[in-house]
Chain A
Amino acid sequence: MPLATLPTLTPALPEIFLAIASMLLLMLGVFSSEENNTRTVSYASVLVLIVAIPFVGLVTEGRTVTFGGAFVTDTFAVYIKALVLVSAATAIIMSKDYLKIQGIERFEFPVLIVLATLGMMMMISANDLIALYLGLELQSLSLYVIASFQRDSARSAEAGLKYFVLGALASGLLLYGMSMIYGFAGTTSFDTLANIFHDAHGHVSVGVIVGIVFMLAGLAFKVSAVPFHMWTPDVYEGAPTPVTALFAVAPKIAAMGLFIRVMVGPFGELGAQWQQIIIFISVASMLLGAFAAINQTNIKRLMAYSSIGHMGYALIGLAVAGTAGDAALQALGVQSMLIYLGIYMFMNIGTFACILLMKRDGRMVEGIDDLAGLSKSNPGLAMILSIFMFSMAGIPPLAGFLGKLYVFQAAIQAELYALAVIGVLASVVGAYYYIRIIKVMYFDDPVDELDRGISLEMKAILVVTGVVIVFFVFYPVPLLTGAESATAALFHK
């Protein structure tokens, strides 16, 4: 057996950078003075994540593969990684006050987020089943830990444990599916798999299909799509709020990216087989996200259902991408999904920034009732939260509306009319609970005032996300072209 030569490392530069940086951050945390090492490490982590963005951006076009085909970098990866890095960085920024209030300021928190981000980036760049699994586990393991980061709170510990056990089950399903695929093809490489399925012209044995079903189940768990969503509300509610803010955005986007990569890449030719499943989980997620949220009283739990619903809408794009044999249509589906995810990121970051500002007498509150009368006590915050809620509900001309418009349009083009109709109906039902929050803020009798005072970082996050949501309709081009070139990387190899 010949010894392999040293693989080119440049495509994996951002990942290598993050890996080394995370270890340096650990050292920084250990060796700096104990009073403010969390602050120091937090700022350093944000810096690391931000510096990683230009590293990621080194790829402008084309597709590079390294590590014996296990790792791929292309514009698609760049797009998703950029979103993930931004959302992870904002999650760290947003966590600062919260950790202090709850008395859980420990420098491992930002480091674990950096490590989770590393896992996400490895997932996104996975070009092999093993690489996929390792990235996924690195991400998940870090997230399990930070979900129970507030270890003295029973809720937080429970959230972490539930997430861990169910995540292990999902990983089991995923691995089982992978082993079936491997048993058929004798390879774990995406490129080889794609070739095999291409030669098979969409006719493969039922074992492969069942293997794909198992893999889908494992991946659907990560994006919390129905019926693999059960962990989401409990974990969102139990975990510390900045962790929830992270969960709602970065891992979701990364897992969606992985979902696209796997489904459109190796299994792209088998679209006819898996499209049905995607349609099913998409419809189920949209409906559950719309209905189950209605009676919630805790805003974090509500956001859990909201994100389940949003994942349902995004999966419409993937369902369109399952139209085998029509590359243009597939590209349209993926593109609409990427746009949706980009908008989803901004809406969720903004909303969670608002949730993190819900404090009374220096303590965090998270009931929807606590927002009553916010329009009087803090009109600015009430207005910007209303903007996010309207956007989530899909009210034109806000960005959330356009995101939905793109995926529904793609569904119509793919003649998935039922999917589009159900999507529209679900967003009508969903609008109820989003707008209820606005009603509570503007029309309900005020309870005790929430604390005023917004830190500069939070203000910046609110303003930036708010501006993006409101003005997207006037200048959507950056996101559109980004999504377009990302999609191009998947379909023109």
Chain B
Amino acid sequence: MIIQGLAFYMFAAITVAAGVMVISARNPVHSVLFLILAFFNSAGLFVLMGAEFLAMILVVVYVGAVAVLFMFVVMMLDISLAEMRAGFLQYLPLGAMIGFVLVMELGIIGGSWVIADNVDKNFVAPIVAMKTTNTEALGNMLYTHYVYYFQAAGMILLVAMIGAIVLTHRKRPDARKQNIGDQVSRHPSDTLEIKKVSSGSGV
């Protein structure tokens, strides 16, 4: 238990610290790298909770795909954070005050947290002694109890896809495309003219 506890605090502390660094690093590339660090540590937290599938997904999808994509974008856009921070100090006092108040309040709330009686009977899928693997359990939930959410998420992704295409795809009339149908149905006589060239007269 002690090792588990130590591991939890390590992962948690690094996650929070990395999160702070994401927003405070001067170089945007560093920010993304810290983000990746935060993802890794979150994955560690998932492992501690016994959710190894989610941990792997987090690493594969977020670190492997999303964060790397971020990296590309950041590098290509050439953002100057110094410029974006120009007004930072101007709003710092008020922002810090509000932030401080909110944090204090959340502290108070956390301190006086109460959980409803018999809360465990409210769970949709309580954690029972695991006989199945994580993946199988998730699959079972996702395609049965949560089929509605699953489909809804699918619709959201569809919209995201349409949106991305609508907002960025441009028709380029000058772009050349292959049209196999045209190619196949082309007849030599359309384009080819055979002329008899009498010798010596040139074309």
Touch between chains A and B, by CB atoms below 8 Å: yes
Instruction: Tell yes or no: B79 within 8 A of A by CB.
Output: no
> Chain A residues near B112 (CB, 8 Å)?
205-207
Q: Which of A26, A68, A180, A196 contacts B124 (CB 8 A)?
A: A68
Interface size on B, residues (CB 8 A): 40
| B141 (CB) vs chain A CBs: closest residue | A1
How far apart are the CA atoms of A207 and B165 in the complex, in Å? 42
> Chain B residues near A12 (CB, 8 Å)?
148
A70 to B159, Cβ gap below 8 A?
Answer: no
B123 to A3, Cβ gap below 8 A?
Answer: no
| A164 (CB) vs chain B CBs: closest residue | B163
Instruction: Tell yes or no: B109 within 8 A of A by CB.
Output: yes
Instruction: Tell yes or no: B155 within 8 A of A by CB.
Output: yes
Instruction: Tell yes or no: B1 within 8 A of A by CB.
Output: no
Instruction: Tell yes or no: A183 within 8 A of B by CB.
Output: yes
Mask: chain B, 102-139; 1 = CB below 8 Å from A; 0 = not: 00011011101111100110111100100010000100
Q: Given A137-B156, A187-B123, are A1 and B116 neighbors across the interface (CB < 8 Å)?
A: no
Smallest beta-carbon distance A290→chain B, Å: 28
Mask: chain B, 131-174; 1 = CB below 8 Å from A; 0 = not: 01000010011001111110111011011101101110000000
Instruction: Tell yes or no: A148 within 8 A of B by CB.
Output: yes
Q: Given A149-B166, A184-B114, A186-B122, are A19 and B151 neighbors across the interface (CB < 8 Å)?
A: yes
Interface residues of B (CB under 8 A from A): 105-106, 108-110, 112-116, 119-120, 122-125, 128, 132, 137, 140-141, 144-149, 151-153, 155-156, 158-160, 162-163, 165-167
B144 to A4, Cβ gap below 8 A?
Answer: yes
Q: Given A196-B122, A205-B112, are A115 and B155 neighbors across the interface (CB < 8 Å)?
A: yes
> Chain A residues near B152 (CB, 8 Å)?
122, 131, 134-135, 138
> Chain A residues near B158 (CB, 8 Å)?
23, 115
Smallest beta-carbon distance B23→chain A, Å: 14
Instruction: Tell yes or no: A189 within 8 A of B by CB.
Output: yes
> Chain B residues near A138 (CB, 8 Å)?
152, 155-156, 159
A206 to B109, Cβ gap below 8 A?
Answer: yes
> Chain A residues near B109 (CB, 8 Å)?
180, 206-207, 210
Given contacts A111-B162, A112-B166, A186-B115, 12 further A-B pairs with CB under 8 A are A1-B141, A19-B155, A122-B152, A135-B152, A141-B156, A141-B160, A145-B167, A180-B109, A184-B113, A186-B123, A206-B112, A207-B113
> Chain B residues near A427 (CB, 8 Å)?
none
How far apart are the CA atoms of A111 and B119 in the complex, in Å? 43
Mask: chain A, 427-444; 1 = CB below 8 Å from B; 0 = not: 000000000000000000
Mask: chain A, 129-148; 1 = CB below 8 Å from B; 0 = not: 01100110110011011001
How far apart are the CA atoms of A130 and B156 in the complex, in Å? 13
B116 to A186, Cβ gap below 8 A?
Answer: yes
| A138 (CB) vs chain B CBs: closest residue | B156
How far apart are the CA atoms of A67 and B166 in the complex, in Å? 33
A186 to B119, Cβ gap below 8 A?
Answer: yes
Q: How large is the interface on A (under 10, 10 to 19, 20 to 34, 35 or more residues)?
A: 35 or more
A67 to B148, Cβ gap below 8 A?
Answer: yes
How far apart are the CA atoms of A9 and B164 in the complex, in Å? 31
Q: Which of A3, A118, A137, A185 contacts B144 (CB 8 A)?
A: A3
Smallest beta-carbon distance A56→chain B, Å: 18
Interface residues of A (CB under 8 A from B): 1, 3-4, 7, 12, 19, 23, 26, 67-68, 70-71, 106, 108, 111-112, 115, 118-119, 122, 130-131, 134-135, 137-138, 141-142, 144-145, 148-149, 151, 160, 180, 183-189, 192, 196, 200, 204-207, 210
9 CB < 8 A contacts A-B: A112-B163, A131-B148, A134-B152, A141-B159, A151-B167, A185-B116, A185-B119, A192-B122, A206-B108
Q: Which of A188, A189, A205 contacts B114 (CB 8 A)?
A: A205
How far apart are the CA atoms of A108 and B165 in the complex, in Å? 10
How far apart are the CA atoms of A4 and B143 in the complex, in Å? 9
> Chain B residues near A184 (CB, 8 Å)?
113-116
B149 to A145, Cβ gap below 8 A?
Answer: no
How far apart are the CA atoms of A145 and B153 in the complex, in Å? 17
A26 to B132, Cβ gap below 8 A?
Answer: no
Smallest beta-carbon distance A442→chain B, Å: 42
Among all A-B residue pairs, the 10 with the closest Cβ atoms:
A145-B163, A4-B144, A187-B122, A67-B148, A186-B119, A205-B114, A134-B152, A186-B122, A207-B109, A108-B166
B149 to A134, Cβ gap below 8 A?
Answer: yes
> Chain A residues near B122 (CB, 8 Å)?
185-187, 189, 192, 196
> Chain A residues near B132 (CB, 8 Å)?
1
A210 to B151, Cβ gap below 8 A?
Answer: no
How far apart are the CA atoms of A187 and B115 in the complex, in Å? 11
How far apart are the CA atoms of A196 and B115 in the complex, in Å? 11
Smallest beta-carbon distance B11→chain A, Å: 19
> Chain B residues near A106 (CB, 8 Å)?
166
> Chain A residues near B145 (CB, 8 Å)?
4, 68
> Chain B residues near A145 (CB, 8 Å)?
159, 162-163, 166-167
